[in-house]
Every structure is written in structure tokens, then in C-alpha cells.
A and B are shown apart, each in its own frame.
Chain A
Amino acid sequence: MDRIPPAFFKQGLSANVRLLIFAGLSLVLLVLDARSTLFVSLRQGVATVLYPLQRVLLMPRDFAQAASQTGLEALQGARDLRAELDELRRIETANARTLLLAEQLAAENAELRRLLGAREQVVIPSVVAEVLYQTRDPFARRFVLDKGIQHGLAAGQPVVDAGGVIGQITRVFPLSSELTLVTDRNLSVPVQIDRTGARAIAYGDTEPGRLELRYVAANADVREGDAVSTSGLDGLYPQGLPVGRVILIDRAGGSTFARILVEPAGGVDRSRLALVLQPDAARLPPPLAPPPDPPRRRRQGRS
């Protein structure tokens, strides 16, 4: 018993045992991270340490972009700039009229709401964030933003740009946050079709850069070109934000639901700046005009 020779080559645990430990640990982490929120603080810690490094590494790209932009402007003739200016002036004039109308409507709306005794629309606070980079994870459509808990961001807040909804904050770190795009397959947005008021849920489609409206009956009144906006039913997205436009309707026989593809209105993959809305769920007005159609009872959870 005491004649066991001393280890000649000290190599620690064998490779098999080590694999068992580390692969097991990875699997436990994978399952727990997918199913629970146990490792939020671990992720936040690592992300905070990584943040300065990421910023430094992004510098060359930003410099290159700025340089190419100024170079382009120099190359572009004065004529192009003049044309652009004219176009912008035209848009501004058009917008000015809309703006006036909007002011009138707002005043009128406030008056009507007072008469109805409904709560008044609240002004939603918001934070402008810059997109740092797109994550490489091929399973998701995510961007990392340069604002985090420090700036009042929280998971669940909707993100919009000039065109419309582009996504939702899904994870927050002290100094940065993760924005999941509406085109991500695991993100759903409750929407309505503006023309008819019919409700649906928009999911990211398998086709990149597209949304799919689910749970719309095959015989529902939907046309190509219909504008789709948030319905505000979830209490997260304010009502009436533009989401997109219907581009394809496939009423294949044999299926209860139509396959409806929507092109997102926001510059989902393009915008560098995003506006994170911070609605106070308790103070959001209740959604107006309940739908006339009866509640659906069929197959609520298809995956």
C-alpha cells in the first residue's frame, strides 16, 4: 500500500476527466442560461470588463467611416449637394404642414379625451443610443448599443428609429445593452393592420430582414401594401408605432392561417442611431377601440 511509486510525470487530471468537468460545466451553463436568468450578474460583470476594449477596437472602424464620409463629400460635386438640399427643403415643407396638422390634432385629441374622461397621453421619455456592433451569433439578430443601466435602460424597452420600430432591449449591462431586432426569430411584436384594425403578432421570419404575421386567418382582409403598426396590447410598445408594410400574402390551401410577410419600416440593419423609448407601463393609456371580432381560441401556441 505504501509502496505506490511517486508520480514521475505530474500532469494533473487526465484529459478525459477534464473534458468531463469543463464540457459538463458548459452544458449546465447553456441550459441554465437558456431557461433562467441565473447568470445575469456574471454576464454583466464580463460585459463591463469587456466594454472599454470593445470601444477601443471600434475606433479604427469609426475613423475609417468618418474619413471616407468626408472624402465622399469632397468628391461629390456641389450640384449633388444642391439637389440633396432641394430635396430636404421639399421634405421639410411637406413635414411642416403635417406638423401643423399634428398640433391641431393633438389639441383636438386632448379636448376629446378630457370630454371622455380618459387619461391623457403621456410623453414617453427616451434615450438616443448608438449602435456599436452587430453580434456574430448566427442564431440571432442583435446589436450592441452604447447605453446601459447607467442611462436608465432596462430590458423590454422598445427601440425605434426615424422609420419605425426596430427592436427591443433584451439584455442590459452597466454601460451597454443588447438590442434584439424585430427580424429576430425569437422576438414577437403585437401589431395591428392599420386599415382594418385586425390584430396579429409579428415574428422575425426565416428569410432575413423580413417579418411574418402569425395567427391571421387565411380569409382575413389583408392586402399587399397595408401598413402595420404596434397595437400596444402588451403594455411595452406604445400604440401606433409603424412596424412595416405587407409585401406578400400566401394563402396556401389547407392552412388555417395565411403566411403574410412584412417589410420592416425602420432601418433595421442600417441605422447607426436608435431611440430607446422608456415607457412607464403603469402610465400608458389603455388601448383604444376593442376589436369587434370574437377572441380566437385556436392553437394559441404554435412553437
Chain B
Amino acid sequence: MSRKNRRDVPTGLTGGPPRIVRSVRPGRNGFAREHLLLPADNAFISFSIALAFLFNVLPWGQALWVPDSLALVLFFWNVRQPSKVGMGVAFLFGLVMDVHQASLLGEHALHYSLLSYGALSLQRRLPWFNLGGQLLHVLPLFVGAHAAALVMRMALGGGFLGWSVLLAPVTTALLWPLADLLLLAPQRRAVDRDQTRPL
């Protein structure tokens, strides 16, 4: 089984550029404890993006606090697997969200592209921090990217709607630790299951 063989290779060396992959377990002094990860599974990446998209497409009405799960998951994979999920994917999903939400074409596309840029810029730095430190990086980025798209919309005749429209990126960013734990869990499994099995 190719899957089995791939598991035996310790880390990061199968396909794509060799990267040092680290997981984020809180260590001492606010920095992450290094931990070698299994390579990411393509099927799992697609599955998580599809699930996040479905969550976004649910009929939420105009509730402003509903987190943008698609933005979160796309951001995560842009940080962790930039060669697989890049800015182009983020842009395309942005367009689809624009059509679904009946907003101007390009609003979400701009939002997600900016997030993706932030992810690419932070991808070497972010894994060194523990979850709290990561949250402090992610929060201004989410708020900023959302605000940029909103400002464009206002400039095109939307008018100011009050500060509550920035609630969504805050709730989205607060979900970052959860997303990090869930989406990285498959890669944190032991290379050889027998080694960690209690006797």
C-alpha cells in the first residue's frame, strides 16, 4: 500500500518542497514544542474545505457574528500547505461565496486573497508560537482582511454600517485554536501506531 509506505517516511519528504513541519504543542516560554508531523492527506484537505464551505452556505440570515469557517480553513491550509492550497484556491472560493451571498463579485475574493497573503507571510513564523501567540497573530489579520473588503464595498456606495460588521472576523479568529487542533490532528498521529500502543 502506498499509503503505508508514505507513513514510514518520517516527515515532509514526500512530494512538494522539503519543509520542516512543526506542530503546535504549548512548550515553555510561550513557544511551541517541536513535534514532527505526518504529511498532509489530500483527501482530508479537500474534505475539511468542503465541510467549511457547507457551513458557510447554511441559511444564517443576516446574523453578523457567524464565523466565516471557509476563511478559517483556507487560511489554515495556506499556512500549513501553501503548495497545495494557495491564493488561487482562496480567490475562487471567494467568488463562489460572492455569488451565494449576493454581494458584489470580488468582495470575498479580495477578502480571501488578502488572508492568503497574510498566511503566506506568516507561515514560517506562526508554528513557533503556542496557540495564544498564534491567536494574537491571526486576530488582527482576519479583522484587517475583512475590513479591507468592507472598505471597498463602502467606497462603491455601501455606506457605513457600524462597527458590528467586524464581529464575524473576531469570532472567526477566536476559533483558530480549535481549527488548529482539529485540522492538525490527523498529522499528529504516530508514524508507527505500535510504538505508542500501551502494552
Which residues of chain A have a CB within 8 Å of any CB of chain B?
Answer: 9-12, 15, 18-19, 22-23, 25-34, 39, 42-43, 46-47, 50, 53-54, 57-58, 61, 132-140, 142, 144, 171, 178, 185-186, 206
- Select B62's contact among A50, A57, A58, A136, beta carbons within 8 Å: A136
Q: Is the pair A186, B101 in contact by a Cβ cutoff of 8 Å?
A: no
Q: Is the pair A135, B87 in contact by a Cβ cutoff of 8 Å?
A: no
List 14 other contacts, CB 8 Å, given A53-B57, A57-B57, A135-B103.
Answer: A15-B120, A26-B106, A30-B152, A39-B105, A43-B105, A50-B57, A54-B57, A54-B100, A138-B161, A139-B159, A142-B102, A171-B102, A185-B159, A186-B157
User: Can you name the residue of chain A whose Cβ is closest to the Cβ of B120?
Assistant: A15
- Judged by a CB distance under 8 angstroms, whether B110 is at the interface is yes
| Interface of chain B residues 137 through 175 with chain A (CB within 8 A) | 152-153, 156-159, 161, 165
- Select B100's contact among A25, A26, A50, beta carbons within 8 Å: A50
User: Binary interface profile of B, 67-110, with partner A (CB < 8 Å = 1, else 0)?
Assistant: 00000000000000011001110110011100111111111011
- Judged by a CB distance under 8 angstroms, whether B198 is at the interface is no
Q: Is the pair A57, B87 in contact by a Cβ cutoff of 8 Å?
A: no
With known contacts A18-B87, A23-B114, A30-B152, A134–B57 Cβ distance under 8 A: no
- Judged by a CB distance under 8 angstroms, whether B199 is at the interface is no
User: Binary interface profile of B, 112-149, with partner A (CB < 8 Å = 1, else 0)?
Assistant: 01101100110000000000000000000000000000
| Interface of chain B residues 45 through 70 with chain A (CB within 8 A) | 54, 57-64, 66
Residue of B60, B62, B114, B117 with most partner-chain A CB within 10 A: B62
A-B contact pairs, 25 of them (CB 8 A): A11-B17, A15-B121, A18-B87, A19-B116, A25-B91, A25-B106, A26-B94, A26-B106, A29-B105, A30-B107, A30-B110, A33-B104, A34-B104, A46-B96, A50-B99, A135-B62, A135-B101, A136-B61, A136-B63, A138-B64, A138-B161, A139-B153, A139-B159, A171-B102, A186-B157
**Distance between B68 CB and nearest chain A CB, rounded to angstroms:** 10
- Select B102's contact among A9, A27, A34, A178, beta carbons within 8 Å: A178
User: Can you name the residue of chain A whose Cβ is closest to the Cβ of B83?
Assistant: A11
In the bound complex, CA of A257 to CA of B102 (Å): 33
Q: Is the pair A23, B113 in contact by a Cβ cutoff of 8 Å?
A: yes
Q: Is the pair A26, B91 in contact by a Cβ cutoff of 8 Å?
A: yes
In the bound complex, CA of A23 to CA of B61 (Å): 28
In the bound complex, CA of A18 to CA of B82 (Å): 12
- Select A139's contact among B91, B96, B109, B161, beta carbons within 8 Å: B161
